[in-house]
Chains A and B, each alone.
Chain A
Amino acid sequence: MKYLDEYRDPTLAVKILEEIKNHVTQPWVIMEICGGQTHAIVRNGIDQVLQGKIELVHGPGCPVCVTPLETIDRAIDIAGRPEVIFCSFGDMLRVPGSAKDLFMVKSEGGDVRIVYSPLEAVRLARENPDREVVFFAVGFETTAPGNAMAVMQADKEGLNNFSEIVSHVLVPPAMKALLSSPDNRVQGYLAAGHVCSIMGYKEYEPIARQYKVPIVPTGFEPVDILEGLLMVVKQLEEDRHQVENQYVRVVRREGNKAARDIIQKVFKVTDRKWRGIGLLPASGLGICETYAAFDAEKKFSVDAIHVTEPDNCISGLVLQGLKKPVDCPAFGRECKPEHPLGATMVSSEGACAAYHKYHRN
């Protein structure tokens, strides 16, 4: 982990910052896709030091935030059943469903457990043959290989008591949707480094050409982000629109073929609803026919779900980069991390949570 320190080097950070300031001739609007980057930006005050030079808008890159309410309600329904051990990453537990969250299910006696890897859920299935183990598989392309691997592993071991609720989302379709919107102001993108480490950046090249936007796959440390911004700014100032890789220590153009193959084996591309944004065609992953037996939504029939979103939450606009969390009237008042109204206040990658944690006053 030591190597990360050089990407947090204050001298280097300030040097790149100065270079950005020297290059900028007009206030460009740049979106960082990934919630991890949003946090790093807000935590380190990168948005503040660039005020007036670059406007940073925060993208939809928080998988917890965009998981549709219907899916959360369905997960809550399944998690409350006595035969089920429900496994999820910690962040998902506090995301409000229509009536309650998964923590409440736990306090009502549901067997809800936080795991750090889907393979832990597979292990639980192996150790508890008389229980149904359900894993809540959310995330972008980054976590898809691991979640696919868990299905393959369960299949190999013949564990028919393991299944996943899959709500995977894909970045490029969301980028296209944002760019084709008439409200779009975004002129350049920092693409999510972790996603590109799996998928590569070939698929961003046609987007950069078609919409005339520079796209730079970027890491998560402050120096990474500043460097990524500098690369976007240089392109904008030179009127270039290409995909350039900042995160060379991790990302290859082709991505990770082995990981992509696993995804393809287990998942198929589907239409997916994004919370706050709406239905985007071919923007998600679901379990393919071959592995349908591991699809929790098929295994457990859930009665029709009627979702109710809190009407004063503008997280949809926040996720599209159209509003900042501080523009929301509920921010820091009715809506706080202790009692969140929207998912963007819950997740450690949500923009509202980042603003509340670091920028409150």
Chain B
Amino acid sequence: MIVDTSTLSCPLPIMDHDTVQLAHGSGGSLSASLIEKLFLPRFDNAMLNQLEDQAVMELPACRLAFSTDSFVVDPIFFPGGDIGDLAINGTANDVCMSGAVPLYVSAAFIIEEGFAMESLHRILLSMEQAGKQAGVTVVTGDTKVVNKGSCDKIFITTTGLGSVPDGVMISAGGIQPGDKIILSGTIADHGMAVMTSRENLSFQTRIQSDTAALNGLVEKMIKTTTEIHAMRDPTRGGLATTLNEFASTSNVGIKLIEGNIPISPDVKGACEILGIDPLNVANEGKLVAAVPPDKVDAVLDAMRKHPLGRQAAIIGEAVTDHKGMVAGETLLGVSRIVDMPVGEQLPRIC
């Protein structure tokens, strides 16, 4: 979901410094004031406010999903989001791809000395918003400040905890031949938004990151059926990577119908100009799922009623041929391999 934090009316609290100093991470009084003035108001909750070294929580008697991810995106502010909402959404998504309901998040910040207080505040505001939207609570955290040059502006690590509903068993290895592959919406928005927003690119686009927490959408899907055989969010490496992981982990072939993959004209154009295959570009608010054929209509229906699934489409099928590989069909009806990208030539995108 796009939150324009620059228009939110929550001014930077009066701080003694305009920029983050080494002492702000020293554990002394400056640390305490930073936490109190900047962090606590954003993540205000009983568990965090006690400022213990750990959060102690009651958990429902269930299986837990547990996931961690670090965010080093450059630039930290990009069209459609920033490193803050990305850090919340990314971890919420990793947790909920198991079908779990994400509940709690921890957040660790590594900040480069001299980082603007204003920017930190903006990032925290967007984390607050993203947390509210995803329904997760930041219950514990840590802040370190490192020497100038020891990290690039700010790195955030988030860890998430969620409860898996009874009867739900989703993994990348559960795909059966015949399963339909569903994609929740357009591809390559995030990667291209980050890439085209880099100052040294000589053309401008209106591309926005798709960063969003998918747990609401997942919940709707699971309500329709617990028989979702596999689910993943195609982040780094893009859709091609996720489908290849599906194929090799489940030992099935995947037949891709490229023409069905939703993509916005702007993203398509930018990929064209830069010579980039959109199948290899990161998404931060999309999911791919493998669903048995008799459930596919109901799942699609439910997805399309959710704002994040309006453009959901069947983009392929699991088959017994070419096990472990993804194959597309060219316009001449010849089948071609859809490979994972080899190396990363993009800037840091998440």
Contacts and interface: CB of A to CB of B under 8 A. Distances in A.
Q: Do A and B come from one complex?
A: yes
A119 interface: yes
A300 interface: no
B332 A358 contact: no
A263 to B, nearest CB: 20
A359 B345 CA distance: 23
Interface stretch (A22-30, A109-117, A192-200, A240-248): A109-117
12 contacts: A4-B272, A8-B331, A44-B330, A44-B334, A45-B330, A45-B332, A45-B334, A116-B200, A116-B201, A119-B202, A222-B332, A360-B337
A94 B344 CA distance: 11
Nearest to A49: B332
Contacts of B269: 1
A1 B345 contact: no
B331 A116 contact: no
B331 A120 contact: no
B265 A1 contact: yes
A45 B272 contact: no
B265 A10 contact: no
Interface in A159-217: none
A43 B337 CA distance: 9
Interface size class of B (residues with CB under 8 A): 20 to 34
B342 interface: yes
Contacts of B335: 45
Given A1-B272, A357-B339, A44 B332 contact: yes
Given A10-B332, A45-B336, A90-B345, 10 more contacts: A1-B273, A4-B272, A9-B331, A14-B333, A44-B331, A116-B200, A116-B202, A120-B200, A359-B337, A361-B337
Contacts of A116: 200-202, 274
B220 interface: no
A249 interface: no
B268 interface: yes
Nearest to A45: B334
Interface string B309-350: 000000000000010010000111111110100110100000
A213 to B, nearest CB: 26
Contacts of B268: 1
A120 B330 contact: no
Interface in B262-292: 265, 268-269, 272-275
Interface in A319-361: 337-338, 348, 357-361
Contacts of B337: 357-361
Contacts of A8: 331
